Chain A
Amino acid sequence: MNLEGAFLAGLPYIALASGLLIVMIGVAIRRTHFVAWSLTVLTLVATLICHFPGYEALGEGTTLTMLFYVDGVSYVFNAMFVLAAIFTAVIAYQYVQERLGYPEEFYLLLLAATFGGMMLPAATHFASLILGLEIVSISLYAMIAYPQRARGPLEAGLKYMILSGVGSTTILFGMALIYAASGSMEFMDVSPVTGSMEGDTFYLIGHAFFWSGIAFKLSLVPFHIWTPDVYQGAPAIVTGFVATVSKGAVFVVVMRYVMQSDVFSSEAITYVVFLNAAASMIVGNLLALQQKNLKRLLAYSSIAHMGYLVIALFLVSTHPGIGFETAIVYLAGYFVMTLAAFGVISVLSVHSERELATIDDITGLLWRRPILSATLIAAALSLAGIPLTMGFIAKFYLFTAGIEGKMWTLVGLLVLGSAIGIYYYLRIVFAMTSQPEGELERAPNSSWTGIGAVATLGIATVVLGVYPTPLVDLVQTLLRASGF
């Protein structure tokens, strides 16, 4: 490994870490919200740009110590996380300014969480997995409970901290057992076939623990119970970040694990994961039907979406190329539409005492806040998987992936789930378009940066839904360059 190549490949990580330090020192010297915010956005943009020289040096993939393997796939996900963080920062600015006491550290946490998230797509070792996972989680505890005087966020933060802590310990214990069976912590060396551990008790129990913890982080049924409460309690934009970056990062590392360790050659493990996925699609959609709060509704729908995504996970073990492509496109779409939805809630709630997230709050919204409503409508239709939106392309990918992998049960459930989903997403749309009684109240002003960022996401949802070819081409090029 030549040093220069390794340095370039690691450049985005270095950029983000240095930016993190600069923001920290800056905040320590003088508290200025705008400066902290600008430095954060600057750091994120610089990190994004650093991916380009890094990519040149990458080749098919670069090994950085035994812990990390950086390739095109990690870079795609890094870029997605950084972009998500940029949107989060831009949308959050006014919200943080108006509602939070000490705004500056919020960005510190955001950068730290993004840094943790960026470690996971490159992780090839249990140590780097847990490292990345914990950096994300610990930053998120604080971000969720950031409005420290409000009851909801504190409760949500505490709940997330305790349950997520339990999840992490479960993962650690599972790793210990897997290590006991295989004698290695590297993903490569824990394969059930090469290690002939298919019937090994330690190996299976270890995976039971490991997968439970992972399923908790991905909020798959039956480990989903934290999701609605945390989604509802956390500030809307933080919820968006949790739903996208934290889940996306965990999903990528699991994909890498599945591909390298070939864990699905064990029938027992496959079966358990299959049950998780099927239950998530059913339970998530059915419970979403009952919800009157938008954030809770999106929480249950995210459970269902993670269930759908497991189809891509299964495909990774048999057709890694298509599996990764599906997952990347699906997650890209999911990122855009989820951030758009939570972004709208966040921008709407800037001036109000509580977050405006019930169905009543958004009734007739189209006639008061047309841009925000149009974005939310696009996001809702996209989450429902209606054509013209990114969500449809994403679902179409899963569809073909499921048919390619002959996973008929999961494809059937995907169709059923989408059918149920239409009902509750449509309720959001209907509420927004219904005619309000009497005179319209004048909407309070929101900053144009927030609205602009949200609208950009809304436009992206539609544009990429109508013409996804650039995205598909990009993903395919990167995958091919990474040797898939």
Chain B
Amino acid sequence: MNVLLLICLLLAAGLVAWASERIRPNLPNWVALTTFVLATLWVVFAWLSGPHEGGLYAEQFYSWIPRFGINVILKVDGLSLMLIGLTMLLGAVAVVSSWTETTTRRGFFQFNILWVMAGVVGVFSAFDLFLFFFFWEVMLIPMYFLIAIWGHEDRSYASMKFFLFTQISGLLMLVAIVALVWIHYSTHGVLSFDYHTLLGAELDDSVARLLMLGFFVAFITKLPSVPLHTWLPDAHTQAPTAGSVILAGILLKTGAYGIVRFVVTLFPEASRDFWIYGMALGVASILYGGFMAYSQSDFKRLVAYSSIAHMGFVLVGVYSFNDLGMQGAIVTMIAHGFSTAALFMMAGALQERLHTREMSKMGGLWVKAPRMGAVTMFFVIASVGMPGLGNFIGEFLVLLGAFQKNVFLTICAAIGIVVAAVYGLSLMQRSFQGTPNPDVPEMRDFAFREMSAMIVLMVALVWLGVYPQHVLSMTDAILPMLGVAP
């Protein structure tokens, strides 16, 4: 598998999609969809044909800025491959979900979606810290455009907040990266941004702690975790459907990925000493996100807050520092990508039909749109953590792992699952069940296009829930690299 080619394909498809708008207004959608489907197949093919020697599915190296020892180093291991697969699949889903939503400037819209995805693939495969930071920003700017141009009523505020939070925390990470490289340079005399070279940097405890915090802050902003989460409800709520799907499904995972890949491995001691804070922040996010979600009246905002809670589990899992916790975190990342993407699509579909996201203006929608009701039910239950579906496996493993580390925090996190059931079911009741709201206009139920996207996500969740071994065996191989023995 050639990652650079994949990235270039996405970038080129973006340009083609933009230009194709002139031929037919609908053509950009087709270009984007075809690209994502092809890319997904490409990833599946790479997965089926198995890794090369050393457990890598792809490895590429090009010289970039030799002055600073910066190279294009792209590697795909099991973790990266799963996340890239998730990205491409959700890309296709995002395109399908916004098929009719955007009517203006579709070319530029799909251009931005494709370019965000190119950045994300880069983030998931970059093994040079400069390159990583570079892609980190590449995905930021098109996302900003998606919110700022096609967002809902309060898009100006939301897009600005999103950009500022991510960018400023990114600057902190850049300082940490450069400082790390410089320290390595002054001790070893080699100027390099290569991840594997920097693993060998010898750091004082206090310095390591500071640099670790630089990375950590950037990643928990993106994750997001309390107290740096405030951009998320605004950005997710204001973004167009495809934007929310990408944000929740994929961009949040880049934060989790960063913690797993860089914080834990580059600063092993400092991270281990930090476990109690990491875990506590995770638990705080779970409880805070849960309670806030329950008190929302806006469908989309509720789902947004629930994301904060779910990503809290990832944090708890990673900072358990054992194989169960880490695997749970990874499974949660993937399962949350599917379930939340579906719920945001539902929010988008409802907004398109009812022109509101307020649940007080819904109620009893099941009668009018039984297919939508059933689909929502499925994904709400998945996100609540029903056994047999992906989210359950992830959260269960996280709790198992965390239990070995700290019982009290584990109990608190488990309470979060109860809270999740409360807000999940209340979402279902307020929108689809109960007495039908007389003010609701006639609405169209899901048709083939939307159902097919939803079915793909359902199958994925069931597969993950019933037979998680595919994912677990892939993560097994990388656990030693992450510092926890299987």
Which residues of chain A have a CB within 8 Å of any CB of chain B?
A: 367, 381, 386-388, 392, 396, 399-400, 403-404, 411, 415, 418-419, 422-423, 426, 429-430, 433-435, 467-469, 472-473, 476
Taking a contact as CB atoms under 8 Å apart, the answer to whether A387 and B167 are in contact is no
Q: Which residues from chain B sit less than 8 Å from chain A, CB to CB?
A: 63-68, 104-105, 133-134, 137-138, 141, 144-145, 148-149, 156, 159-160, 163-164, 167-168, 171-172, 174-175, 178-179, 182
A404 to B191, CA, bound (A): 12
> Could you tell me if B141 and A388 are in contact, using CB atoms closer than 8 angstroms?
yes
13 contacts between A and B (CB under 8 A): A381-B141, A387-B134, A387-B138, A388-B134, A392-B137, A400-B178, A419-B168, A426-B163, A429-B144, A430-B159, A434-B148, A469-B65, A469-B66
B186: nearest chain-A partner, CB-CB = A404
**Interchain CB contact (< 8 A) of A399 among B104, B137, B160, B178:** B178
Report yes or no: A403 in contact with B160, Cβ–Cβ below 8 A.
no
A-B residue pair count with CB separations less than 8 angstroms = 70
Q: Of all chain A residues, which has the CB nearest B130? A: A396
Give the complex CA separation of A477 and B64 in angstroms: 17
B133 engages A387 (CB within 8 Å): yes
Docked-complex contact A386 and B141, CB < 8 angstroms: yes
In the bound complex, what is the Cα–Cα distance between A476 and B171 (angstroms)?
A: 27
- Which chain A residues lie closer than 8 Å to B164 at the CB level? 419, 422-423, 426
**Cβ contact of B182, chosen from A387, A404, A426, cutoff 8 A:** A404
A403 touches B182 (CB 8 A): yes
> Which B-chain residue is minimally distant from A403 (CB atoms)?
B182
A472 CA / B134 CA spacing, docked (Å): 18
The answer on a CB contact under 8 Å between B182 and A430 is: no
Q: Are B182 and A472 in contact (CB under 8 A)?
A: no
How many whole Å from A397's CB to the nearest CB in chain B?
A: 9
The contact of A386 among B64, B67, B137, B149, by CB within 8 Å, is: B137
State how many angstroms separate the Cβ of A307 from the closest Cβ of chain B.
17
- A388-B137, A429-B144 given. 10 additional CB < 8 A pairs? A381-B141, A387-B133, A387-B134, A387-B138, A400-B68, A430-B159, A467-B64, A469-B65, A469-B66, A476-B67
How far, in Å, is B62 (CB) from chain A's closest CB? Answer: 11
Contacting residue for B160 out of A418, A423, A472, CB 8 A: A423
Q: Which residues from B are CB-within-8-Å of A400?
A: 68, 178, 182
Which of B63, B133, B171, B179 has the most CB atoms of chain A within a 10 A radius of its CB? B171
Q: Known contacts A388-B138, A400-B68: does B149 contact A422 (CB below 8 Å)?
A: no
A321 to B37 alpha-carbon distance, docked (Å): 51
Taking a contact as CB atoms under 8 Å apart, the answer to whether B167 and A422 are in contact is: yes
Q: Is A426 within 8 A of B178, CB to CB?
A: no
Inside 8 A of A430's CB, which chain B residues have their CB?
148, 156, 159-160
CA of A421 to CA of B6, assembled, Å: 34
Q: Is the CB of B148 within 8 A of A418?
A: no
Within the complex, the shortest CB–CB distance from A73 to chain B, in Å, comes to: 17
Complex A-B, nearest 10 residue pairs according to Cβ-Cβ distance, in ascending order: A387-B137, A419-B168, A472-B67, A387-B134, A403-B182, A433-B149, A422-B167, A415-B171, A469-B65, A430-B148
| Residues of B close to A476: CB separation below 8 A | 67
Bound form: Cα–Cα A291–B134 in Å: 30
- Minimum distance in angstroms from A435 CB to a CB of chain B: 7
Complex alpha-carbon distance, A112 and B219, angstroms? 53
Residue of B nearest to A385 (CB): B171
CA distance A400 to B148 in the complex (A): 33
**Provided the pairs A387-B137, A433-B149 are in contact, do residues A469 and B64 lie with their beta carbons within 8 angstroms?**
yes
User: A419 touches which one: B144, B149, B167 (CB < 8 A)?
Assistant: B167
**CA separation between A404 and B179, bound complex, in Å?**
10
Q: Are B179 and A435 in contact (CB under 8 A)?
A: no
CA distance A418 to B163 in the complex (A): 13
Please determine whether B66 and A433 come into contact, CB atoms closer than 8 angstroms. Answer: no
Q: Which residues of A contact B159 (CB under 8 A)?
A: 430
Please indicate the chain B residues that have their CB under 8 angstroms from the CB of A467 in the complex: 64
Query: In the bound complex, how far is the Cα of B148 from the Cα of A132, in angstroms?
Result: 47
* Cβ-closest chain B residue relative to A433: B149
Q: How far is the CA of A445 from the CA of B149 in the complex (A)?
A: 26
Complex alpha-carbon distance, A367 and B145, angstroms: 14
Knowing A387-B133, A400-B182, A426-B160, say if A435 contacts B104 (CB, 8 Å): yes
Q: Pick the contact of B171 from A381, A404, A419 — CB < 8 Å?
A: A419
Report chain B residues within 8 Å CB of A423.
Answer: 160, 164
* Cα of A400 to Cα of B167 in the assembled complex, Å: 19
With A423-B160, A433-B145 in contact, do A469 and B167 touch (Cβ < 8 Å)?
no
